[in-house]
Structure 1
Amino acid sequence: MDAFSHIRVIISMILGFGVAQLLKNTVKLIDHPTKRKSIYWLHLCWVFYVFILIILFWWWEHRLEMVQDWNFFTYLFLIIYTTLYYILCVLIFPDDINEYGGYKDYFFSRKNWFFFFQILVFVIDFGDSLLKGKDYFQSLHWTYPARNLLHIALCVVGIKSSNEKVQIGIFFILLVFDILFIIQNYLH
């Protein structure tokens, strides 16, 4: 098995664990309605958003076939980068929130970590895109760096603000921008 095929398997495995975390806990909300804590719609919006981020990441990593020089540090970089997505999944939807009053309480108590790991994802994403080559990076148009920088800036705001309306605004701005990004780069 070549390096590209091997890293593709590892990435798929790690991302699969993340998607399983999101799906398992979403189904638990339906499957055990009397045992669940109070559902918070904004929390579920972020669950959906992380799911979309993982799908986008999986799609982006298809371009790893462009990488010519594989070495240990490239391999390690990609495994660490992928692991950040798994961490996001566990942070946004843990298996147990019994020590919290509900998902709203949980979200606001852990939002700093959630947004911090999103910042890491989008900073490291620049390195991931450059790994695929200058031509690939340039093919993403101006919207790619704008998307990442906007995401980083709004996550900083997310860390600093506990205002529910600000949190809702962050979610909708990022969702709309990512939908436009998908349309521009992947649906033509």
Structure 2
Amino acid sequence: MEPASFPSELFPHIRIVMGMVVGLGITKLLTGLATFIQHPGRIKPYPIHLLWVATLLLELVHFWWWQYALYGISSWTFALFVFLIGYAIVLYFMCAILFPDRVDEYDGYEGYFISRRKWFFALFASTFICDLVDSLVKGPEYFSRFGYEYYIQVPVGILCCIIAMWTANRRYHLAFVTIHLIYQLSWILRLFYAVPVAFAQGH
């Protein structure tokens, strides 16, 4: 094997492992949503909880899409591999929190979600840090695409998560998830709708 071809051949192997974790997360969300159709009267749904499910489902699909930029990395290490798998695991744990095995001891998903908000938003805050590191390892050209908006997005996102961890105010939680979902869609359409040619070619 020629050394120059090694990174491009290693990337699919790493992406398969990440895909396994992402697939488990998507399966968890879809299975949870299916229970509302299978047993409509058994568990009371909660709109804010469902909005976070939609947000995280979009996040997982987006995660799998944007990680194609890893193709351009020319030097791989085990630490980077572990970091990427860890990032995917954090997203999976958020899915697992949204849909636990049982919620019958709570008054539907509202009581459950509010009682587990510290865990959920602590993990969510960590994704902003993971995303920052992920963007940096892809190189300065990739990172520069985001502009100064990125320097605002990360600290504001973490601050909003910290507030959400400590308040049970439903209006705040509804505003947070709604604004984040709209912004996430805007971010995808503006910067990730198509894979840049440079990254698709591994440069």
TM-score normalised over the length of structure 1: 0.94
Residue 105 in 1 paired to residue 124 in 2? Answer: no
Residue 66 in 1 paired to residue 72 in 2? Answer: yes
Q: CA deviation at 1:131?
A: 1.0
Ranges of 4+ aligned residues in structure 1 off by more than 6 Å:
none
Larger radius of gyration: 2
Q: CA deviation at 1:149?
A: 2.4
CA distance in 1, matches of 2:167, 2:126: 19
Q: CA deviation at 1:183?
A: 2.2
CA distance in 1, matches of 2:87, 2:193: 25
Q: CA deviation at 1:134?
A: 1.0
CA distance in 1, matches of 2:17, 2:47: 32
Tell which deviates more after alignment, 174-183 or 163-172.
Answer: 174-183
Tell which deviates more after alignment, 143-152 or 77-86.
Answer: 143-152
Q: CA deviation at 1:179?
A: 2.0
Cα distance change on mapping 1:187 and 1:74 into 2, 3 Å? closer
Contact 1:50 1:89 in 2 (8 A): yes
Aligned length: 187
Structure of higher RCO (CA pairs closer than 8 Å, 6+ residues apart): 2
Contiguous gaps of at least 5 residues in structure 1? none
Contact 1:112 1:159 in 2 (8 A): yes
Q: CA deviation at 1:140?
A: 2.0
Contact 2:45 2:110 in 1 (8 A): yes
Residue 25 in 1 paired to residue 32 in 2? Answer: yes
Q: CA deviation at 1:33?
A: 2.0
Contiguous gaps of at least 5 residues in structure 2? 1-5, 195-203
1:91 corresponding residue in structure 2: 97
- The root-mean-square deviation of aligned C-alpha atoms, in Å, is 1.5
Deviations, residues 42-93 of structure 1 (Å, cap 9, x unaligned): 1111111111111221112111101111111111111111110100100112
Identity over the aligned pairs, expressed in percent?
A: 33
- How do 1:95-134 residues align onto structure 2 when only pairs under 5 Å count? 95-134=101-140
Deviations, residues 94-124 of structure 1 (Å, cap 9, x unaligned): 2321221210000000011100000111111
Amino acid at match of 1:136: Y
Amino acid at match of 2:21: I
CA distance in 1, matches of 2:101, 2:144: 40
Residue 154 in 1 paired to residue 169 in 2? Answer: no
